[in-house]
Chains A and B, each alone.
Chain A
Amino acid sequence: MAAVKNLFATRWGIIGVGVFIGVLATLLQKWGNPANMGICVACFDRDIAGALGLHRAEVVQYMRPEIIGFVLGSLIAAYAFREFRPRAGSAPIVRFVLGAFAMIGALVFLGCPWRALLRLAGGDGNAIFGIAGLAFGIWVGTLFLKSGYTLGRATPTYPAVGWLLPLTMLGFLALMLVFPQVPNEPKSGVLFYSVKGPGSQHAPLAVSLLVGLAVGFLAQRSRFCTMGALRDLILFRQVHLFSGMLALLVTAFVMNLLLGQFHPGFEKQPVAHTMGLWNFLGMTVAGLAFLLGGGCPGRQLFLAGEGDGDAALFVLGMIVGAGFSHNFGMASSPSGIGPYGVAAVVTGLAVCLFIGFTMRQKAA
């Protein structure tokens, strides 16, 4: 039975993966990644956009090997367990747009759901507003699901379609090796690097890549998804994925206590601001976009690794969205929301609601 053979998809399997991510994310912080940002898919996609010069925010430019590892680790798992299924064609442009606005919303809060958990586990009380907003956005999305929201079917396609994002990631890795970081230089070959700020803080390349590969492998097997965790809880009262998310939070909290990385409070938290309403609403936009797109940013990377070309487009949308976010002053900084942060949230909500209302197969 296909359902029985996968140990990682059991309750203890998903909890184990949550624990694994919680341990390694907090260790990555000790090994050099920014505080409360051991792993943040939104931040790291944004740093990749910076490394490529898609935005020129000097403090957030680094080709994060964790992201590369996530996609390739998932690809390896998918092949090892015969789950690589090239597929695409489920409203691709909508996936791209949702990815872009998911990123724009996440950067108002300053983090993806994974980082929201890591921020809370590190004592950052502002994360409570973000997580509440995330849950609210997902709840709104479940109403669309109940009334027939669908982006339509993906269909099987050429293996090369499924390979394009993994190959892109291999290309990014090659660029890092050809143009390695030069101390105190903002550029190496075609790649941009941060000299200061979060983009300058990173674990050694090999460590980040290995952790990324391991997390990508396990997350593909376990279907770990932070958006799905809240969605299934709200929609089906089902705690399977939620138990993995909770395991990540609790483990990261304990690890932070052990590593001396727990600093409770609201003020002066690392790479965070204290505007509760905008933390809430930024993540509302992101949560709704994740739900409409079928997965949290991490899950989109893992899906892309197992051949889902639509998820790959969501990922590319996130990277491009990060470019817009910083170029247009929509991203927040530790001093608060950007000059166009409010406009970003309003536009993001409008776009997500438009997609939710207009893409339903039947009325409720």
Chain B
Amino acid sequence: MALVDARGLSCPQPVLLALGEMKKLGTGSLEILVDTDTSVENVTRAAESQGWNVKDVRPEGVGYRMIVEKA
């Protein structure tokens, strides 16, 4: 699965990186690592605006591992 590691990056870079990867993939699954709740919210908002669904958000390390999908 494609992976974007956005841990430790300031706003809005996690969203920029995630959106860039989604655009490249078109459809499928994407894993995104972030380190703040703010980034989870921002990436969720951005993903949903592009028709991607947030399938899973689980704590990992000091942050989260997100999985987004688009059929």
**A interface residues with partner B (beta carbon < 8 Å):** 1-3, 6, 9, 81, 83, 85, 87, 89-90, 145-146, 150-156, 223, 225, 228, 231-232, 235-236, 238, 240, 294-295, 310
Asked if residues B8 and A232 are in contact (CB atoms below 8 Å), the reply is no
Asked if residues B36 and A1 are in contact (CB atoms below 8 Å), the reply is no
Point out the residues of chain A lying under 8 angstroms from B44, CB to CB.
3
Using CB atoms, name the residue of chain A closest to B5.
Answer: A153
Using CB atoms, name the residue of chain A closest to B56.
Answer: A1
Asked if residues B46 and A87 are in contact (CB atoms below 8 Å), the reply is no
Point out the residues of chain A lying under 8 angstroms from B36, CB to CB.
83, 85
Asked if residues A90 and B8 are in contact (CB atoms below 8 Å), the reply is yes
Q: Which 3 A-B pairs have the closest CB atoms?
A: A153-B8, A294-B10, A3-B44
User: 1/0 per residue B35-61: CB within 8 Å of A?
Assistant: 111101110111001000010010000
> How distant is the Cα of A85 from the Cα of B36 in the complex, in angstroms?
8
Point out the residues of chain A lying under 8 angstroms from B46, CB to CB.
236, 238
Given A236-B15, A236-B46, A151 and B57 touching (CB < 8 A)?
no
**B interface residues with partner A (beta carbon < 8 Å):** 7-13, 15-16, 19, 35-38, 40-42, 44-46, 49, 54, 57, 62, 64
Point out the residues of chain B lying under 8 angstroms from A87, CB to CB.
8, 35
Point out the residues of chain A lying under 8 angstroms from B13, CB to CB.
145, 150
Asked if residues A3 and B62 are in contact (CB atoms below 8 Å), the reply is no
Point out the residues of chain A lying under 8 angstroms from B10, CB to CB.
90, 150-151, 154, 294-295, 310
Given A83-B36, A228-B12, A231-B12, A2 and B64 touching (CB < 8 A)?
yes
Task: Name the contact of A2 in the complex, choosing from B11, B16, B37, B62 (C-beta under 8 A).
Answer: B37
Point out the residues of chain B lying under 8 angstroms from A236, CB to CB.
12, 15, 19, 46, 49
> How distant is the Cα of A81 from the Cα of B41 in the complex, in angstroms?
14
> How distant is the Cα of A85 from the Cα of B59 in the complex, in angstroms?
13
Residue of A1, A81, A231, A236 most packed against chain B (CB within 10 A): A236
In the complex, how many angstroms separate the beta carbon of A157 from the nearest chain B beta carbon? 10
Point out the residues of chain B lying under 8 angstroms from A295, CB to CB.
10-11
> How distant is the Cα of A152 from the Cα of B62 in the complex, in angstroms?
18
Q: List 15 A-B contacts (CB under 8 A).
A: A3-B57, A150-B9, A150-B13, A153-B9, A154-B8, A154-B10, A223-B41, A223-B42, A231-B12, A235-B12, A235-B16, A236-B12, A236-B46, A236-B49, A310-B10
Asked if residues B62 and A240 are in contact (CB atoms below 8 Å), the reply is no
Given A1-B54, A228-B11, A294-B10, A83 and B45 touching (CB < 8 A)?
no
Point out the residues of chain A lying under 8 angstroms from B7, CB to CB.
153
Given A6-B41, A85-B35, A232 and B57 touching (CB < 8 A)?
no
Point out the residues of chain B lying under 8 angstroms from A231, CB to CB.
12
> How distant is the Cα of A154 from the Cα of B62 in the complex, in angstroms?
12
Point out the residues of chain B lying under 8 angstroms from A235, CB to CB.
12, 16
Asked if residues A1 and B57 are in contact (CB atoms below 8 Å), the reply is yes
Using CB atoms, name the residue of chain B closest to A223.
Answer: B38
In the complex, how many angstroms separate the beta carbon of A40 from the nearest chain B beta carbon? 22
Asked if residues B41 and A3 are in contact (CB atoms below 8 Å), the reply is yes
> How distant is the Cα of A3 from the Cα of B39 in the complex, in angstroms?
9
Given A3-B54, A153-B7, A238-B46, A232 and B41 touching (CB < 8 A)?
no
> How distant is the Cα of A235 from the Cα of B37 in the complex, in angstroms?
21
Point out the residues of chain A lying under 8 angstroms from B15, CB to CB.
236
Given A3-B40, A223-B38, A240 and B11 touching (CB < 8 A)?
no
Asked if residues B57 and A2 are in contact (CB atoms below 8 Å), the reply is yes
Point out the residues of chain B lying under 8 angstroms from A90, CB to CB.
8-10
In the complex, how many angstroms separate the beta carbon of B52 from the nearest chain A beta carbon? 13
